[in-house]
Structure 1
Amino acid sequence: MTLKIGILSDSHGWIHPEIISLMNSCDQIIHAGDIIEQQTLEVFTTPLTAVRGNNDAHLKFADIETFELFGNLLAVEHGHEHGWKTPSHDSLRKAHANAKMVIYGHTHKQVIDKTATPWIVNPGASGAVRNGGSSKCLILTIDELQKWEITAHHFANND
């Protein structure tokens, strides 16, 4: 059985409609913070886990979430604690040394860094704030052989 996990971050109160559709086709959704409004997440029909971003103090989410997937640890945090402008990948790797992958947000820039373990990924901004002209997300697919594959998605803002 293949597991498909949708990964998004930095929606800031709005999520691109194509991302909503893509996320709802997944088995699980992970939001890496800066949701801003709780009702932003009500568009999802797929089970969702979220962490608190630097703009989410009023929301009742944990700062860090971890999951075990087929014997591998997946860690999620917003990332602003590891460098305000650009979170340090070294710092994230040290904080989650036992993980296979760390998901963070905050920068609004999509990153897939598989140069070392754990992998460090940022889905980019799923909303319209500081997204460079397109809303972004990632899909993590884990197949029956436990091969992890990350696919990047970009959706132009036509509004």
Structure 2
Amino acid sequence: MKRALIVSDSHGSSEVLERLKEKHRSEVDVMLHCGDSELAADHSALSGFSVVRGNCDYGQKLPDELVEEIDGQRLFVTHGHLYSVKSTLMNLHYRARELNADIVCFGHSHVLGAEMIDGILFINPGSILLPRQRLEKTYVILELSEKELILRTFDIDKGELTGLEQSFALPKLK
């Protein structure tokens, strides 16, 4: 089983990213930051993360998109502002199809959520600093196995949030 830590919208807080690394680095295979770190691309707090540029990452030498392969699954990582994710996931869905992605990781709205659409899992880890629609400052750990995807949600201060674990069966055919 492989694990991916997914975080977004840390908005200048190097401290929360260092805490995440200290707590989870040894138990995850990849760490993804979905943008709006507001840190320099070479900042030590981003070391170990695959990072994309968000709308608040002015002038940073970061890509708008990344594609990561983990255990046979293609993860498409973007911030979401270029795809109007606050109003629809349709544009992001089209791009995911173009990239043949199995999983999409994005942020921008600061709203925690996950849903399977046409065999593609869309994950927004919420915001680790400035959450919307809930009080918890969230990030997620995605567990990838041969048969399912398990999503566990954490609060930076309280740890794992019980009752929010989600499981998604892998589609049989794409």
TM-score band, normalised by shorter chain: 0.7 to 0.9
RMSD: 2.5
What TM-score do you get using the length of structure 1 for normalisation?
Answer: 0.82
Residue 96 of structure 1, CA deviation? 0.9
Query: Which of structure 1's runs of 4+ aligned residues deviate more than 4 A?
Result: none
1:30-74 CA distance string (max 9 Å, x none): 0000000238962467x3200000011322110000012233311
Hey, what does 1:141 align to over in structure 2?
A: 143
- Equivalences for residues 86-105 of structure 1 within 5 A: 86-97=86-97, 98-105=100-107
- Equivalences for residues 34-73 of structure 1 within 5 A: 34-38=36-40, 42-43=44-45, 47-73=48-74
Residue 4 of structure 1, CA deviation? 1.3
- The one-letter code of the counterpart of 2:152 is T
- Name the CA distance, whole Å, in 2 between partners of 1:89 and 1:103: 12
| Counterpart secondary structure, 2:102 | strand
| Counterpart secondary structure, 1:57 | coil
Q: Is the 8 A contact 1:80 1:87 kept in 2?
A: no
Aligned residues: 152
Structure with the larger RCO, 1 or 2 (CA within 8 Å, 6+ apart): 1
Q: Is the 8 A contact 1:16 1:155 kept in 2?
A: no
Q: Which moved more, 1:148-157 or 1:57-66?
A: 148-157
Aligned-residue identity in percent: 24
- Name the CA distance, whole Å, in 1 between partners of 2:118 and 2:76: 15
Q: Which moved more, 1:15-24 or 1:2-11?
A: 15-24
Q: Is the 8 A contact 2:41 2:60 kept in 1?
A: no
Hey, what does 1:3 align to over in structure 2?
A: 2
What TM-score do you get using the length of structure 2 for normalisation?
Answer: 0.75
| Counterpart secondary structure, 2:3 | strand
